[in-house]
Amino acid sequence: MTALIATPPVLLHPLADRHGKPAALLLDLGAPAATVPSLPPSLPASLMHDLAAAGMRCLYRNGQPDAGAALDRAGWQALDPACLQRLDDPQQLPPAPGVQWLIGEWFMAPPPKPADAQVASRALAMQLVQLVATDADTHEIEAVLRQDPTLSYHLLKLVNSLAIGANAGGGRRVTSFAQAILILGRAQLRRWLNLMLFSSREGDRRSPMLLARVSVRARAMELLAQETGLNKNQQEMAFMVGMFSLLGVLFGMSLPDVLKPLTISDAIARALLDHDGELGQLLTMVEVAERDDHAALARALAAIKLDGGQFNRVMVEAYVWMQSVALGQGAHHA
């Protein structure tokens, strides 16, 4: 759940479908009696249209009729409250009959106890995290991928969605790791491998929504780093901090324990473990936004001299990118 800074506050909630997969976004305009005659200036109709055009259903609730009409014109639809249910535990899936959308933090719950095969897959995934973190040789990464057909499958599936979308290689399918590197380049490949860790894991219903959450977090941190004038390398580090920040949730371990065997830079470690430094500030910002802590978010924005309009634009772009990842349309960006 992300708070978009505006006056009055506007809340954006990712919604899952009945199967626990990201399928919609919900814009909460506040109580119906609130004075919201139109969309706030820091959340213009053009941004709302961008979200509606990105592929997922975009819904809104409450607010004055004029605000609803503006959203209707931007491609949004009013939510039927009877179709929404709050879920706090993945074991509650599937929801009650008639429920179409799920809201809540159920996907942040501890993972199910893995089978032996899943333990082995998790160990390989952790080894892959280490190789990605140290920018290891391509052949080392390929050797790990070949030990787990599921990891290899997900990588090629993700890369093919990008290659076909961009008509790379004359529209031919990517069938080898070498082709993936050729199409993506090392920096984009590193990004894909990070995303792949969160993509559907057998027996873990949390995976699709965790992937959505971590995609928004990582892309938002990267864009915030850009907005605040950090250099390209720092922007890449911000993306990695966003990705690594949820590894503890993914693996059902404390984050320090997950990071212990990894070789990462001091700046990334301080951001993840202590919320320290410029990257730590950005991580704090996206986390308090997810919790709808308006006061803490206002302080965080003031500390880095960003206004609500800038923050809204960043979050909209991050949510658009998340949709491209969740819907399998690729993850390339400038």
Model-level pTM? 0.84
| Average model confidence (pLDDT) across the chain | 80
How far apart (Å, rounded) are the C-alpha atoms in residues 262 and 147? 20
Which residues in 88-114 are b (16+ Cβ under 10 Å) and which e?
A: eebeeeebeeeebbbbbebbebebeeb
pLDDT at 187: 73
Q: What is d(CA 93, CA 149) in angstroms, rounded to the nearest whole number?
A: 28
The reported pLDDT for the residue numbered 30 is 63
pLDDT value at position 274?
96
The pLDDT of residue 254 is: 92
Residues 283-318 pLDDT 10s: 999 999 898 888 898 899 989 888 888 888 899 999
pLDDT for 169: 46
pLDDT of the chain along its 334 residues, tens only? 555 544 433 568 899 999 899 999 998 876 444 444 456 555 677 888 888 888 899 999 876 677 788 888 889 999 999 999 998 888 888 888 999 999 999 999 988 776 555 666 667 777 877 787 777 887 888 888 778 777 777 777 766 765 544 544 455 667 777 677 677 777 777 777 778 778 766 678 898 999 999 999 999 999 999 999 999 999 999 999 999 999 999 888 899 998 887 778 899 999 999 999 999 999 999 999 898 888 898 899 989 888 888 888 899 999 999 998 887 644 444 3
Q: What is the pLDDT of residues 206-248, one digit of tens each?
A: 989 999 999 999 999 999 999 999 999 999 999 999 999 999 9
Strands 22-28 and 10-16, by their bridges, are: antiparallel
Secondary structure percentages of the chain, helix, strand, coil, to 5: 60, 10, 35
Q: At what angle do helices 294-303 and 277-290 cross, to 10 degrees?
A: 150
CA 30/CA 305 separation, integer angstroms? 27
Domain positions in the chain? 2-108, 113-203
> What SS3 class is residue 154?
helix
